[in-house]
Structure 1
Amino acid sequence: MFVNVMGWSMFRKSFLRLLLTLFCIIPVGAVAGESATISGAWLANGYQQIFVSAPIKLYQFDLSGHVSMTQGIAGELDFWSQCVGIGTSPEDIEARCLWQDLDGGSIILQLRGQSLQEGVEVAGNIVGGAGKYAGITGTVAFTWSALSFGREEGRTVLTGHTTNLGGEYTIP
């Protein structure tokens, strides 16, 4: 049987170039073109402070905790969260949150809601991310199902829990 050595060599080089090009264009771990719904629970702990300078009150909080998904994002079910919130009234609180997976990928959320109380609905948007979540967009909503408060060093210590975390996302 006759094998065209020159043709095989050119094919092999072209094939290797194609593979190298693909690996350079598509980042490892990318989840391109994915859209799905999410659901899960969120447990957060932190501090809330109210600063009063008549006639203005400033509500500020800092929460961190664990997001445990039953329907995850890009295959991930566990995230560590960090949220910072602020508002000038209990009816208008805004927060920015960072969710990070164990591999270092991160998701950024913007949330709006009322004061930190049981039964209060919080809604927001997923506005970006890094790593395999680059370009992610979507929505998220939940209701605080349990909140407990205590005092420590002049600050209100709080623990919040929700079991109805849900939403949807798209990774381009």
Structure 2
Amino acid sequence: MPRLALIAGLALVASFAGSAQTGGPPQGDWQSFSGTLTATGRRDTLPQEDGGVAATMRLTGSLVITAGAGLRRGFRVEAIGFEESQGNGIGRAVWTDDEGDRIYSRMVGSPVEAGRRSAATITGGTGRYAGVAGSYTFTWQYVLPGEQGVVQARAVSLSGRYRRESPR
């Protein structure tokens, strides 16, 4: 019986993955999307002369698209960033779907803390996302520090828009 349940579960997952749109985003039309992000990673800090800290952060996790057309429903996310105590933060992220196609973005905003909002610019992609451009924002719902710089985080209110630009 457990084997039958496993097979049924795998079939359900396969049908969900297959139900996501198979073609790339439409060309030229703006498409809205929203989702949530959950990630874990590492934050390393360095003390600064003003009593604050400078920090690097590397996070990996999952992005689930909850609304919008033209995007796969799930992505593996990798992000790396730098922030300083004056409230400046920058970073880069890459979203990789289940077929290996990627969306790249550049992030700016305040330090990674609960309740803080960040913005990102979608700078390009590969495969089905080649030529994609756009932007998104999100709010950190929680950022939980752990031992030895380990961090767990969740972003909510992730929303944005994108389009695939026509070839030049």
Residue identity in the other structure for 2:126: A
- The structure with the largest alpha-carbon Rg is 1
Judging by fraction of residues, say which structure has more strand.
1
Of 112, 116, 119, the match for 1:116: 112
1:59 and 1:90 in contact (8 A); partners too? no
Q: Which runs of 5+ in 2 are unaligned?
A: 1-21
How far has the Cα of 1:32 moved from its partner?
4.1
SS at match of 1:144: strand
1:171–1:62 Cα change, 3 Å: same
Aligned residues: 142
The answer as to 2:150 corresponding to 1:157 is: yes
CA drift at 1:40: 0.8
| 1:143 is aligned to 2:139 | yes
Cα-to-partner distance string for 1:51-84 (whole Å, 9 max, x where unaligned): 2365794310000000001124624110000000
What CA deviation, in whole Å up to 9, does each residue of 1:9-36 have, x standing for no partner? xxxxxxxxxxxxxxxxxxx944441421
1:49 is aligned to: 44
Distance 1:126 1:73, change over 3 A: farther
> What's the TM-score once normalised by structure 1's chain length?
0.75
CA contact (8 A) 1:98 1:109 kept: yes
Q: TM-score, normalised by structure 2?
A: 0.77
| SS at structure 1 position matched to 2:31 | strand
Q: CA deviation at 1:112?
A: 1.0
Instruction: Please give the alpha-carbon distance, in whole angstroms, between the structure 2 residues aligned to 1:61 and 1:123.
Output: 16
Hey, what does 1:62 align to over in structure 2?
Answer: 58
Find out whether 1:103 has 2:103 as its counterpart. Answer: no
Runs of 4+ in 1 over 3 A off after TM superposition: 28-32, 52-57
RMSD: 2.0
Which of residues 141, 149, 166 is equivalent to 2:159? Answer: 166
Q: Which consecutive unaligned segments of at least 5 residues does structure 1 have?
A: 1-27
